[in-house]
Amino acid sequence: MRRLPPAPNLTALLALAALADLVFYRVGTTIFLPSQGGTPAERWAAGTALFFSNLSGILALVLAAVALLVALGGDQVFPRSMRITVSTVGLFFCALAGIGVLWSLAPQYNVHLRISHGFLVFFLALGVWHGGRSWRSKLGITLFAVPMVIQAMALFSLRMAWSTPDPSQLAKLAHLMSLTAMFASPLLVAPWPWGTARAVVTIATGLVLATGFSLATALRFDLVQAALFFGLHIDLAGLASTSERLYSGALITVFACLGAAVANCLWGPAKSRLAGWGLVLIVAAGADISSPKPALFSLCGLLALAVASAAEKPVAKSAERPAEAPAEQAQQG
């Protein structure tokens, strides 16, 4: 029998659109294209980048709303006790995110967007511990979710002008936990155990990415610094001191580990690929969720990880008996 190609995946399409938004719009437009005017080729490139930006925002809004509705209809992500709370917060978040994607969200409402996003992520991280998942999946999703909650806490603390907890210290803690989650993703998110082919693909991808990032940092540090700052909101200070070189090496390591985890997941079956695209969405959101699109990207990515790691429910015996009855009657006859 001829093997059919995999069905179209909306999460994969969103992940590719989010990557295009990151590369062409956030990085390419800011660094390489002029802010006004330019040649026809530059204007065409800017228009293409803006198209990918708008496409990724609309896809993320649609997918987040649909994924929340589907998740609330079952028990794989949110338990029954959370449904009313999650549906209320989710409706509020999607309304604010929709205004930000389709029109423009007023700055005073950005805090409400971030707080509602933090609550949704917190409920998701809490809900996965009630499902039939492996401890690796639960820990991996939690490590990616907690930094987003801490970021919302830091923003609220800053808005309220609190000195305790210190918003800057909370932001540093969130960044450290994000790097930890990325570093551990090959062991916590990728399927286990690894076969020979899967291990070769994973290790080779990590080595290639580490080598490429190292060469790019050594040869064109200015471009790497600008791309990280405008694309992922990561501030890479320099390479002068030992601490700066260690931080640069840590970033190279964690991005190589994350790329290896994505390659590992995409090498596997449908649920594994869903987890891989979820990782891509989380990374494309960046280190600072400062607008509706990154908030939607990160929420869709976490929902993809939660759905991909959910255990299949066993088929009830009562549902199996009608299919077995004709065979038993034939044997008795």
* Residues 278-310 pLDDT 10s: 999 999 999 888 889 999 999 999 999 999 988
**Residue 5 pLDDT class (50, 70, 90 cuts):** very low
The tally of domains found in the chain comes to 1
Main-chain dihedrals φ then ψ at residue 82, nearest 5 degrees: -100, -5
Q: Is residue 332 part of a domain?
A: no
Q: Is residue 80 part of a domain?
A: yes
Q: Is residue 321 part of a domain?
A: no
Q: Is residue 15 part of a domain?
A: yes
In the predicted model, is pLDDT for residue 35 greater than 80? no
Quick check: 296 and 98 in contact, CB under 8 A?
no
Q: Is residue 240 part of a domain?
A: yes
- Quote the pLDDT of residue 312: 53
pLDDT digits (tens, 9 = 90+) for 125-165: 999 988 778 899 999 999 999 999 999 999 888 888 787 78
Q: Is residue 79 part of a domain?
A: yes
In the predicted model, is pLDDT for residue 323 greater than 80? no
Q: Residue 128's closest CA among 115, 118, 137? A: 137
Better-scored residue on pLDDT, 307 or 326 = 307
**Lowest-confidence region among 86-95, 268-277, 296-305:** 268-277
Q: Is residue 314 part of a domain?
A: no
Structural domain for 140, as ranges: 10-309
**Residue 330 pLDDT class (50, 70, 90 cuts):** very low
Q: Is residue 44 part of a domain?
A: yes
The top-scoring range by mean pLDDT among 22-36, 186-200, 255-269 is: 255-269
